[in-house]
């Protein structure tokens, strides 16, 4: 059994704990990304989140998602303070966003390029504000985190035939361990749940959650057919079959196994913060970047990410632990991979690998940088449902 | 001897070959007695852990992933030629 004092972090005013204490430089709209870049060049210790959104997508679903993700990142427990850079005429303007983050309980400084004298002057003000917040929060000390304050995300991307055999099996064993110790685990990627409705719905804590799971997977399947037409069958592709997967259910089992085997207590919408504990499903897409943003906005402090083909992607302000599914890619991308689940093939028992992952996780929670973190492999994209106009 | 198959869940009636097994190669994993592969099992493909009757469910990850379309002997390769999806029929 682990002791509570094993993990430490920064206590936030809302009762949550961060495992990092970052200052975010967050643009409300893509038009001001250059200002964000200028600030990060002057103050390299900040985490900046340039993105492609903020205007030109007016549908209610897209707006809900955009505001939920941006405000979710401001509220994120790993964030100690925020410099918000707006333009002035955008849809997701700072005024609208501020109404959603007034209870953030952390320093938030706001600038608008059209009011603050243009890009250069705004960047200068942003630099000063970032330095001020960094100095203000630098005195915060780490305190013990109760395990039940930990939300861990499980993600897979750039998968190969071994992902569902080694890496996701190890992550599933870890998920079960985390939940047994009081933590909460969340995973999404609804397209990769197709074919497993019978498994996931049966594990729901009640009929209401079961119904939500059924509806979520049905929507994902319908959307796949709408978007891909005849190509929808490629969801289980000849390449998958060459890799030994015989049915869509088998392929999807390999994906969902990363969440372990416990009761599913809640289905949350994309980017929504869970109100339940234990195992949580997120109704989000399979695309890595979009999926990571949703899981981050849900408040997960840490993410495990399995990959077989090898993707270096991480997420800003969120330590992402990369788990290679095979030794070949682990060796080939040594600088990007944190764990080699391919060791299972070489005789490492699952329990041993899980212990190795728990030990690494504890070190990462306590401040050790993951490869993606140290290399700055930040990716920030988010789900949209309509094309821009 | 190191394991060359992986049994993911105790309920499973198939295991995953961790490397390609040739005919007669012994499949080994902790907690089971080794048994010979009756045909070539490509790496990451499935091998039957026991005799499986026609129409029986194929269990991997402790869950039903398919249904067998003919009798499968312990040690045989389990794939699209001897099972079908319960859900998306070909």
In chain A, residues 269-308 whose CB comes closer than 8 Å to chain B: none
Average pLDDT over residues A320-343: 97
Interface residue of A345, A352, A353, A354 to substitute, partner B, most B CBs within 10 Å: A345
Q: Are A326 and A162 in contact (CB under 8 A)?
A: yes
Buried/exposed A342-354: b ≥16 CB within 10 Å, e otherwise: bbbbeebebeebb
A169 Cβ under 8 Å from any chain B Cβ = yes
Q: Indicate the pLDDT class of residue B90, thresholds 50, 70 and 90.
A: very low
Please state whether the predicted TM-score (pTM) of the whole model is above 0.90. Answer: yes
Angle between helices A94-101 and A60-75 (to 10 degrees): 60
Percent of chain A with pLDDT over 70: 97
Q: Indicate the pLDDT class of residue A1, thresholds 50, 70 and 90.
A: low
Average pLDDT over residues A342-354: 91
The yes-or-no verdict on residue A85 having pLDDT over 50 is: yes
**A158-199 per-position pLDDT tens digit:** 888 899 999 999 999 999 999 999 999 999 999 999 989 989
Q: Which residues of A touch B17 (CB under 8 A)?
A: 244
pLDDT of residue A360: 97
Interface residue of B61, B77, B84, B89 to substitute, partner A, most A CBs within 10 Å: B61
CB pairs below 8 Å between A and B: how many?
A: 77
**B41-62 per-position pLDDT tens digit:** 999 999 999 999 999 999 999 9
Average pLDDT over residues A239-250: 84
The yes-or-no verdict on residue A5 having pLDDT over 90 is: no
The yes-or-no verdict on residue B89 having pLDDT over 50 is: no
**A136-161 per-position pLDDT tens digit:** 999 999 999 999 999 999 999 888 88
Interchain pair A246, B8: CB under 8 A: no
pLDDT of residue A2: 55
Average pLDDT over chain A, rounded to an integer: 94
Q: Which of the listed CATH numbers 3.30.460.20, 3.40.50.300, 3.10.20.740, 3.40.50.261 matches domain A22-137?
A: 3.40.50.261
Interchain pair B62, A261: CB under 8 A: yes
pLDDT of residue A239: 76
Buried/exposed A13-35: b ≥16 CB within 10 Å, e otherwise: eeebbbbbbbbbbbbbbbbbbbb
Q: List the structure tokens of B65.
A: 């992933």
**A27-73 per-position pLDDT tens digit:** 999 999 999 999 999 999 999 999 999 998 878 999 999 999 999 99
The yes-or-no verdict on residue A379 having pLDDT over 90 is: yes
């Amino acid at each position: 059994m682990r002791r509570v004092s094993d993990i430490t972090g920064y206590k936030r005013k809302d009762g949550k704990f961060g495992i990092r204490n970052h200052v975010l430089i967050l643009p409300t709209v893509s038009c001001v990304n250059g200002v964000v870049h200028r600030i990060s060049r002057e103050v390299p210790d900040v985490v900046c989140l340039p993105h492609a959104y903020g205007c030109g997508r007016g549908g209610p679903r897209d707006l809900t998602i955009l505001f939920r993700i941006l405000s979710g990142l401001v509220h994120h427990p790993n964030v100690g303070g925020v410099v918000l850079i707006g333009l002035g005429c955008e849809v997701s303007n700072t005024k609208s966003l501020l109404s959603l983050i007034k209870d953030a309980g952390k320093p938030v400084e706001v600038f608008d390029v059209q009011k603050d004298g243009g890009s250069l002057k705004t960047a200068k003000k942003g630099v000063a504000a970032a330095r001020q917040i960094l100095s203000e929060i630098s005195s915060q000390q780490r305190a013990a985190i109760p395990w039940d304050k930990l939300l861990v995300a499980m993600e897979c991307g750039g998968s190969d035939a071994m992902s569902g055999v080694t890496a996701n099996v190890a992550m599933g064993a870890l998920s079960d361990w985390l939940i047994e110790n009081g933590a909460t685990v969340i995973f999404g990627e609804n397209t990769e749940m197709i074919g497993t409705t019978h498994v996931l719905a049966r594990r729901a804590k009640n009929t209401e959650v079961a119904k939500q799971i059924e509806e979520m997977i049905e929507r994902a399947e319908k959307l796949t057919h709408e978007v891909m037409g005849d190509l929808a069958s490629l969801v289980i592709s000849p390449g998958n079959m060459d890799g030994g997967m015989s049915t869509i259910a088998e392929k999807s089992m390999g994906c969902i196994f990363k969440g372990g085997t416990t009761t599913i207590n809640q289905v949350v919408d994309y980017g929504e913060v869970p109100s339940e504990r234990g195992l949580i499903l997120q109704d989000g897409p399979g695309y890595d970047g979009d999926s990571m943003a949703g899981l981050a906005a849900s408040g997960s402090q840490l993410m495990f990410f399995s990959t077989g083909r090898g993707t270096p992607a991480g997420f800003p302000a969120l330590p992402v632990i990369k788990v290679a599914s095979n030794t070949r890619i682990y060796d080939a991308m040594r600088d990007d991979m944190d764990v080699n689940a391919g060791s299972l093939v070489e005789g490492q028992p699952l329990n041993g690998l899980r212990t190795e992952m728990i030990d690494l996780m504890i070190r990462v929670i306590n401040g050790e940088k993951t490869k993606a973190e140290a290399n700055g492999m930040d990716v920030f994209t988010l789900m949209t449902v309509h094309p821009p106009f | 001897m190191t394991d060359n198959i992986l049994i993911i869940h105790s309920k499973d009636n198939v295991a995953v070959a961790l490397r390609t097994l040739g005919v007669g190669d012994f499949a080994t994993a902790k907690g089971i007695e080794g048994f010979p592969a009756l045909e070539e099992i490509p790496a990451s493909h499935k091998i039957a852990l026991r005799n499986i009757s026609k129409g029986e469910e194929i269990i991997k990850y402790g869950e039903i992933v398919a249904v067998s379309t003919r009798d499968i002997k312990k040690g045989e390769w389990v794939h699209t030629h001897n099972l079908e999806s319960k859900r998306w029929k070909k």
